[in-house]
Structure 1
């Protein structure tokens, strides 16, 4: 059984999901891949311990604190590759950004296999625990703000909240070529 709760935040509504005392999902209202591949029965349970801990973590985060990711028991569902990418997301310091290519190079060093920034981007985009596993801190090599399942405006809000100088970043114009 999955347990869920809805919370409000400065970036809108958030759905949290937990199982076996671990957080397995955090989705923003309107997020792409909302609920991901979860197929199990869900029950709203606002007092489930893992959900209460996550609410507290998010409250502190949105009030300007820098809570540690390690305070939470995270168990997102995904392939070994995606989990490796998500581990690297968790190493990006608060208030800093990195690129998809930088993560790909780190994975190459760890695993000894050639890795593409595009493959990393796919895994980042399917991050089931947004905000806490900070995919919003990943940008294009040229400073472009791309690929955020929660929407670029929410990505910008989160980066500004963390003190990132977003004036150095940009939203790419959509191609009009046929």
Structure 2
């Protein structure tokens, strides 16, 4: 998918391609330059991103008309220029339209499923609890919407990047 974005006021052309067999991998073209990326949501609003072999933890805040990205002591303001890809949600927050896949941030085991198919959820609301390295991590919804499908069940081992649910 191709986007025109403003990053701290500078206009950029960003094209994202996600291979079906590797849900965390992104092939990215930024102003015609290829960047290999891996992105995994590790908690609501927090992503572990690998860009051309460099690792970043990025905290994302959604504001009314833009996103604020915080990483390594820096803040970046990001605006999608083409508004067809955004919609206003409750409280003026913005979120991506359409179906969003919820993936396991790391390999582990699903110890609890907190929702059911067809259930309404709020952005950040817990969907699953996954145990990894003897720690339990709650996996939240990336958006306000309805749980369309659950692809994991309690007791099931999961791999990093494996799709657990779809929220529409």
For the aligned pair, the TM-score class normalised by the smaller chain equals: under 0.3
Structure with higher helix content:
1
TM-score normalised per structure 1: 0.26
RCO comparison, higher one (Cα < 8 Å, 6+): 1
Q: Which has more strand, going by share of residues?
A: 2
Question: TM-score scaled to structure 2, two decimals?
Answer: 0.27
